[in-house]
Amino acid sequence: MTEIGVGTALAAMGAGLAVGLTAIGSGMGVGIAGAAGSGVIAEKPDKFGLAIVFQALPQTQGIYGLLAAILILMATGLLGGIGVYVPVSIGLTAVGVGLAVGIAGFSAIGQGIAASAGVGATAEKEEMFGKGIVFSVLPETQAIYGLLIAILLMAFTGMFVGVFDVTVAVGLAAIGCGLAIGFAGLSGIGQGITAAGAIGATSRNPDAMGRGLILTVMAETFAIFGLLVAILIMFGIGLLGA
């Protein structure tokens, strides 16, 4: 049996967090949208394709998590059994990457709430399809922020090129970046709730869409706070200025 180091074990933990947490978020979001879709097709079976489209939207967070996990496994040699030496600092960075993508992936719950409203509104009025998609996509921005920070952490700590020269302190700071953008990404749940209400309002009055978009986007402010803090941390520890 091959002996692995602490750094490699931490990297495996980071990969597990990335795919595991996003799977929970996406699973709940898909379930919420799917429940609404099931109710629609019970009365209008011809709307099955419509229901599938809206149900697919919250799945993207899980894809982001899978992508981050594969990148971690490739960078640390766990994928293919290359046997790359992984220092503890890089293992800690991988945990930060997993937290950034994983926790932000819970924004899929908000996206599922919005998508459920979208499928219901579109089932009643076909012209609501495009508007429903627009509102339903908005809560995904938080997950994209999490993926962005994850990629920046991997790029500037040498994970993509196999040059592992960062310290343990930098690895711990990377966890701070992941927590900042990850927890801030939970604002996507609130954004999804607002988006669902805005879809209903737009369905009743098309002129309400513009104001509904403003109300929906306001919830994203807190995700931007987390993104800003994560970037400032990277500047503070010298990653972005290196």
Three-state secondary structure of 134-192: HHHHHHHHHHHHHHHHHHHHHHHCCCCCCCCCCCHHHHHHHHHHHHHHHHHCCHHHHHH
pLDDT digits (tens, 9 = 90+) for 93-148: 999 999 999 999 999 999 999 999 999 999 889 899 999 999 999 999 999 999 99
Separation of alpha carbons 209 and 140, rounded Å:
19
Q: What is the pLDDT of residue 76?
A: 87
Nearest to 130 by CA among 71, 203, 24: 203
Contact (Cβ atoms closer than 8 angstroms) between residue 160 and residue 206:
no
How much is the pTM? 0.92
Tokens 């800003």 label which residue?
Answer: 228
Nearest to 175 by CA among 10, 33, 6: 10
pLDDT digits (tens, 9 = 90+) for 23-73: 999 999 999 999 999 999 988 998 899 899 999 999 999 999 999 999 999
CATH of domain 6-236: 1.20.120.610
Q: What is the pLDDT of residue 3?
A: 67
